[in-house]
């Protein structure tokens, strides 16, 4: 069997509400040389039957089910070792891709060897499919140097929608993928930026579904841990230190020259600056517990996986996402 050009991974958990438009928009892509790998995190609704119905009609679909809900990070990451394509992207089970998405992003990566990820201009829509406005992207994620991209991607004020972009699989497999802590997609994108440019196709080919009431939209990052860890909450939730650790882990794995590494470390001053009160609170919390001999291990990667290697090859364990995009 010839390997496909692209692997699209669709992580699902009780996704039936928006699954029809999500899957049908992928199957309708005008670039047909792709596989669709659906990783099901123990759905209890009609998700499995829906996917199996599509499988009978389209041989490009593969369905991989877990009988236990192991969480967001584990479920998203496990698609990476399953991928057979040269290019890889995650798709959420409630978003919609216009027909030209894959073709436009593949062409962009194939024409630009300095780019490691390509995404398209994006519009937000609500739960009814009504367009609510554009998703802004004015950060320097395509700057020529790693430290410029790292500074942009570790700073606040951007929606991280590029996590749904098309990536070069060999670069993605060198990263720590999704960690078992809130906002770990930001650490993943920042790490990708250390390897190359993140670029945007100047055409709208992607509609992101955004609406209230989702656990992953809680403003208190400490409440999001069960979504990413499969229910486990750290004894001392430290979301801002965990994210800082994710940034530093990506920088360590990247193996940049010493001068460029130093520039990237200096670039983290912006993250430290705007999170200073929260970081100070978390450091004080760690210090208070250290006095009593408590040094909890932080969940910076999915349990059972080693950052920079393919998840699933070392056993794997938990994380969990509420809603339709587990």
Per residue in 92-104, pLDDT tens?
999 999 999 999 9
Choose among 186, 105, 99, 114: nearest CA to 144.
114
How confident is the prediction for the chain on average, in pLDDT?
87
| DSSP category for residue 297 | P
Average pLDDT over residues 104-120: 98
Instruction: Find the distance separating the first CA and the last CA of the chain, reported in whole Å.
Output: 30
Percent of the chain clearing pLDDT 70 (strictly above):
86
Round to whole Å and give the CA distance between 107 and 204.
Answer: 15
pTM: 0.88
| pLDDT classification of 314: cutoffs 50, 70, 90 | very low
Is the domain covering 6-217 a CATH 3.90.550.10 domain?
yes
Query: Which pLDDT score is estimated for 228?
Result: 73
Round to whole Å and give the CA distance between 310 and 292.
Answer: 37
Round to whole Å and give the CA distance between 317 and 229.
Answer: 9
Q: Which residues contact 61 (CB under 8 A, 6 or more apart)?
A: 35, 36, 38, 51, 54, 55
More confidently predicted of 199 and 302: 199
Task: For residue 50, give Cα distances in angstroms to 41, 70, 135, 169, 265.
Answer: 15, 21, 30, 28, 47
Determine contact, residues 321/41, Cβ cutoff 8 Å.
Answer: yes
Average pLDDT over residues 292-303: 57
Query: Which pLDDT score is estimated for 313?
Result: 29
Round to whole Å and give the CA distance between 323 and 319.
Answer: 14
Query: Which pLDDT score is estimated for 168?
Result: 98
Give ∠ CA 304-153-205 in degrees, rounded to 5: 95
Span 124-164, pLDDT tens digits: 999 999 999 999 888 999 999 999 999 999 987 678 999 99
Determine contact, residues 148/280, Cβ cutoff 8 Å.
Answer: no
Determine contact, residues 312/273, Cβ cutoff 8 Å.
Answer: no
Domain spans of the chain, in order of start: 6-217
């Amino acid at each position: 069997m010839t390997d496909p050009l692209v692997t699209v991974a669709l992580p699902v958990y009780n996704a039936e509400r928006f699954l029809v438009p999500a899957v049908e928009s992928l199957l309708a892509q005008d670039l047909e040389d792709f596989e669709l790998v659906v990783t099901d995190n123990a759905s209890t609704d009609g998700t499995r039957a829906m996917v199996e119905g599509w499988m009978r009609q389209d041989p490009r679909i593969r369905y991989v089910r877990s009988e236990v809900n192991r969480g967001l990070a584990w479920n998203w990451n496990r698609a990476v070792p399953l991928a057979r394509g040269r290019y890889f992207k995650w798709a959420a089970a409630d978003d919609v891709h216009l027909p030209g998405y894959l073709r436009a992003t593949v062409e962009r990566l194939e024409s630009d060897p300095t780019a490691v990820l390509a995404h398209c201009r994006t519009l937000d829509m609500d739960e009814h499919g009504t367009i609510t406005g554009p998703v802004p992207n004015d950060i320097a994620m395509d700057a020529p140097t790693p430290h410029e991209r790292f500074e942009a991607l570790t700073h606040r004020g951007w929606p991280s929608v590029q996590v749904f972009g098309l990536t070069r699989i060999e670069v993605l497999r060198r990263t720590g993928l999704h960690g078992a802590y809130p906002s770990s997609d930001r650490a993943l994108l920042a790490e990708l930026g250390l390897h190359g440019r993140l670029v945007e196709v100047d055409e709208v080919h992607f509609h992101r579904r955004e609406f209230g009431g989702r656990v992953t939209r809680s403003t208190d990052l400490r409440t999001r841990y069960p979504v990413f860890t499969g229910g486990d909450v750290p004894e001392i939730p430290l979301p801002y230190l965990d994210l800082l650790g994710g940034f530093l882990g990506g920088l360590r794995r990247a193996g940049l020259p010493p001068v460029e590494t130093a520039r990237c470390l200096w670039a983290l001053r912006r993250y430290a600056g705007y999170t200073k009160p929260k970081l100070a609170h978390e450091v004080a919390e760690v210090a208070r517990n250290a006095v009593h001999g408590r040094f909890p291990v932080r969940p910076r990667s999915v349990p059972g996986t080693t950052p920079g290697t393919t998840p699933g090859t070392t056993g794997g364990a938990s994380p969990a996402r509420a809603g339709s995009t587990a």
